[in-house]
Structure 1
Amino acid sequence: MAIVNRTPDSFYDNGATFALDAAIASGVAAFEAGADLVDVGGVKFAPGPPVPVAEEIDRVVPVVQALSAIGPVSVDTFHADVARAAIDAGAAVINDTTGLHEPAIADVVAASEATLVVAHSLAVPRTQHPLPHYDDVIGDIAAFLHDRVERAVARGVPRERIIIDPGHDLNKNTRQSLELTRRLRELADTGLPLLVALSNKDFVGESLDRGRTDRLAGSLAAAVFCATQGARLFRVHNVRESVDALRMVEAILGWREPAYELHNTRPEGND
C-alpha cells in the first residue's frame, strides 16, 4: 500500500504531493514500482486545526478518480462523508486510522463493496494524547480492535471485508511500538488480515537515532520482521525498496517463484 499525501503538512514529505498533478504522478509511479494499492490521504493524522470536510473531499476525490483507472485505491479518512465521496469516485478501500471514531463510516462501507481498515488509536482525531498508557500493549490493542470490528460487523460490514491495523506510533511511544512489533503474531492469530503502517515512523527514528529522511533501512527491517510475524499488508513511502524486501521474504518462504534462474544452471557454470 503506497502512500500519497495530498496534504500541505505531511510528516514525511512536507507537502511534496499536495499539488494535484504531483499527487497523481506519485500514485502512477507507485503502481509502476509494484504497489498493489495506493492510499490517498487529504488530512494528516497528527494534531492540527480541522480541515473542512468539503475541502478534504476536494483534495482526495480527483486523485481517486485518476488513479482508480490504473489500480485499486484506498482513502485514508475518518469522516463518513469523505468515505462516501471517495467510494463514489472509485475507491476500493477506506482506511480509518481512528478506529471508527465516526461510526457512520461503517454504514458507508456496508452500503458499498469497499473494504474497511480499522486501526487502533486512542485520541479524538487531530488531538494530542499525551503519555499514552497501556496495561498490556497487545492485549489492550486487541481488545480495542475486536470491539471496533464487532461494531462494524453489527452495522453490516462483512467480516471478510475488514482489515485490522495495530497503529504503530498512533498514540504510542517508541517502547510501546517496539513491543507491539515484537508481539505482532498475537494479533495476526486473530484471523483477520493484518496491515502495518510503520514506514519512516518515529519509533524507527528513535530506535536508530535517524531523522525522518534517513529511516529507510530501519523501516525495511521492521517490515520484514512483521512479515514473518503475520502482517500481510504494508503501508509504505518507499515503494520500490519495500516491494523488493517483501518479495524477497516471499521467495525465501516459497510463496513466490524467482523472477529468473541462471546461477549454476549451466554446465559451464557462472559463479
Structure 2
Amino acid sequence: MTTNTTDTATHADTTTRTVLVTSATGKTGRRVADLLAARGATVRAGSRSGTTRFDWEDVRTWAPALRGADTAYVNYYPDLAAPGAVEAMRTFGELAVAQGVRRVTLLSGRGEPEAVRAEEALRASGAELTVVRAAFFAQNFSEGAMAEGVAAGTIAFPAGDTAEPFLHADDLAEVIVETLTRDGHAGLVHELTGPRLLTFGEVAAEVTRASGREVAYVPMTEDEYASLLQRFGLPAPDAQWLSALFSMLLDGHNASVTDGVKRVLGREPRDFTAFAAEAWRP
C-alpha cells in the first residue's frame, strides 16, 4: 500500500523538529541523518559509540536517546525478521510513546513474513507508524560485507537465477525523510524497489562493465553460504539463520517491481546501471 503525497502535502517545520536516527552510522542511517540535517532538522544520531548512545542490544540506551525527540527513524539490527525483533519493537514502541515521540518510520524487509510481526508489534504501541519495506540495496555490492568479495572479483550468494529489483539506498533515504518531514504518511506501508529486475549474474556483468575488471557471480547453496559466513567469523547459528533468510527472500516471490519510489518522490527510482557507473567510476 502506497500513497502519493508529492502534490498535496506540505513540509512540516523541520527547524524545530528533533529526529532520533537509530543505527546512524549504517548504510541507511547516515544517509537519512545527512538529508534531515540539510532540511534543518535537529538530528540525534544514535549509535553504539556516538554522542547519542543507542545500542539495540542494550535496552538501557533506548529511553535516554528517545528523550526530547519528536520523531524517530527505526532501523533494527541485525534484521527485523531476526529472533527477538518482535519483543524489541514492542518495547521500543512503548518507550517512544512514553517519551512523547509521536511519529516513527520503520525500515522493514520486502517479502519477510517474520518482519511483518515486528511491524505489528511496533504499531501496537500507538505511535504514528509508517513502514517502508525495501528491496535489496544496490549498495550491498559496494558497501559492507559483500563489497570485499566484489573487490576480489567474486559475488558469492545463494540466489540462483532469481531476479531482484535492486533499490538505490539514496532513494530509500529520500523516502524515509519524506515520511518524517511531511504529513500524510502515518499508517501507510510503502514498498520500494528499483525500476527493473536483475539476476545476480547480470549484476556481476554491470559491475564488470562499470569497473573495467572482471567480476563473476558464483551461485551457492544455502548450506555452502552458511559455511562461507562461518569462515568469515560469524557464529554457526547466526550464519545458518542469515543464509536461510537470503534463500527465502530470493526464492522468486520478490521478483517484481513497484512504483513506491515514484508515488512518494514524484520521480522514477535510480537504475542499477547509473549506480554502478557512480560506484566504480574508473
Quickly name the TM-score band, shorter chain normalised: 0.3 to 0.5
* Bigger RCO of structures 1 and 2 (CA < 8 A, at least 6 apart): 2
More strand, by proportion? 2
TM-score by length of 1: 0.36
TM-score by length of 2: 0.35
